[in-house]
């Protein structure tokens, strides 16, 4: 996610230097960030469903090892018994 953020900023800077101010560069950067964020939204706790990347109101680039809501260890692999 941090790499995509750097790439998005670099894209906007390069387009601004070459072509001038462009709303399309900002739109492309936003789309890149949305696509990169999609897998992060699927990493939820198996018990309570809380997203592992959220720390209160903030989103960070690495997931919790232990769920802050129910205390489940998220580092263990899920059970194969379904």
Give pTM, 2 decimals. Answer: 0.61
For residue 73, report the phi and psi dihedrals to the nearest 5 degrees: -75, 110
How far is residue 46's CA from residue 50's CA, in Å, rounded to a whole number?
A: 8
> Total structural domains in the chain?
2
Residues 52 and 26 in one domain: no
pLDDT surpassing 90 at residue 17: yes
The whole domain housing 71 covers: 43-82
Q: CB 25: neighbour CB atoms within 10 A?
A: 19
Half-sphere exposure of 68 (CA within 13 A, CB side): 10
Band (46; pLDDT cuts 50, 70, 90): confident
Residues 31 and 57 in one domain: no
How far is residue 30's CA from residue 51's CA, in Å, rounded to a whole number?
A: 22
């Amino acid at each position: 996610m941090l790499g995509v953020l750097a790439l998005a900023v670099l894209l906007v800077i390069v387009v601004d230097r070459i072509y001038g101010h462009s709303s399309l560069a900002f739109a492309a950067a936003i789309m890149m960030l949305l696509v990169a964020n999609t897998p992060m939204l699927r990493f939820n706790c198996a018990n309570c469903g809380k997203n592992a990347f959220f720390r209160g109101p903030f989103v960070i680039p690495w997931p919790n090892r232990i769920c802050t809501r129910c205390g489940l260890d998220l580092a263990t692999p899920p059970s194969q018994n379904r």
